[in-house]
Amino acid sequence: MKSYKITLLRGDGIGPEIVAEAVKVLDKVGEKYGFGVEYTEALMGGCAIDATGIPLPQETIDKCLASDAVLLGAVGGWKWDNLPGNLRPEAGLLGIRGALKLFANLRPAKIYGPLKGACPLRADIIGDSMDIMVVRELTGGIYFGKRGRETVDGVEAAYDTEYYTTTEVERIARVAFEAARGRSGRLCNVDKANVLESSRLWRETVLRVAKDYPDVELSHLYIDNAAMQLVRNPKQFDVILASNIFGDILSDEASQVAGSIGMLASASLGEGKRGLYEPIHGSAPDIAGKGIANPLATILSIAMMLRYSMDETAAADAIEAAVEKVLDYGLRTPDIYTDGCKKVGTVEMGDAVVAALAM
């Protein structure tokens, strides 16, 4: 029987609770589709700071590198807000992406039929559904460029540098073109080429890569217009390609258009099959331990893991179908609850997905 090695980074806040439910689902789908899973635990984020003094211990990196995939809950919280930037929990997230050479972040923003009412946009704007994939460059740009502080004419100043090489742009562009080719064949590149030199290099490189994908329809939008269009007419988008900072902004905006950040998964990928999978929401320390967190984004992240790191497409489809079923049944955690539905907790929602898989 096939077996996969998964490193679990349960993280902070609600992270341990939602990861526990995802593990139950992964075990069940493995049983159903004939593969096993070997789990390894490691620390990252605030819990790692408390235990070791740093957000990303070398032991964690080593365990992740020895795995087929990594599942992350969430990191951060008020407890660590006053630490220096290099010692905050979020520094661990940036560090593990770099250590695993994960340069592509795939964030689907999908409106599920039963949750259509949660979308803040009017029904005539959203139409029957929305299914957008944001492909975000993950290890370059302003988050990784040169930064610092200095004093200029007696005034304190700070700077962060937006910096990309053609190699970095080309590899993320190819991920986006391949994603578009596997969907409806439409790709919208987002940049600020009318102002930024880095964006002009970005667009030139994307246009060069496009020659290898004549079957993909390529369009371009400046970031400010793209942000506006995402709420004005989201149906025009299928795959969106963006730099690190622009992709960060647009994927969060898309999550709100979809109606609930608690439903949205993500995959961070590199050159090989190994990836890091996580819900896009935060650690929500205000509800940690209350048993009311929504585990569905983490469960859907497991589906992405099966699809991209393990080539277990049937198992991935089964998880996504099971999530659709429990929503059709009317089960809702508090964040997606509406009148007439049944309000359930974290564990009950996980159990419902497992039960749906068994059918």
Same domain, yes or no: 346 and 280 = yes
* Catalytic entry in 192, 277, 308, 335: 192
- Catalytic, 68? Answer no
pLDDT of residue 296: 96
Report H helices in the chain. Answer: 15-33, 46-52, 58-65, 89-99, 123-126, 166-181, 197-210, 223-232, 244-257, 296-308, 313-328, 346-357
Q: Which of 257, 292, 312 is the last residue of a domain?
A: 257
* Catalytic entry in 248, 277, 308, 335: 248
Q: What is the pLDDT of residues 178-196, one digit of tens each?
A: 999 999 999 999 999 999 9
Give residue for tokens 């975000």: 136
Same domain, yes or no: 96 and 3 = yes
- Catalytic, 335? Answer no
Q: What is the pLDDT of residues 264-313, one digit of tens each?
A: 899 999 989 999 999 989 999 999 999 999 999 999 999 999 999 999 99
Structure tokens at 143: 């988050």
Q: Which of 209, 231, 257 is the last residue of a domain?
A: 257
Same domain, yes or no: 164 and 185 = yes
**What's the domain count of the chain?**
2
- Catalytic, 351? Answer no
- Catalytic, 192? Answer yes
Same domain, yes or no: 27 and 155 = no
Same domain, yes or no: 39 and 62 = yes
The CATH number linked to 150 is 3.40.718.10
Cα–Cα dist 248/311, whole Å: 27
pLDDT of residue 118: 74
Same domain, yes or no: 112 and 125 = no
Q: Which of 241, 257, 273 is the last residue of a domain?
A: 257
Low-confidence ranges of the chain (pLDDT < 50): none
- Domain of residue 32 covers 1-119+262-359
- Catalytic, 224? Answer yes
Same domain, yes or no: 186 and 270 = no
pLDDT of residue 126: 77
Same domain, yes or no: 130 and 247 = yes
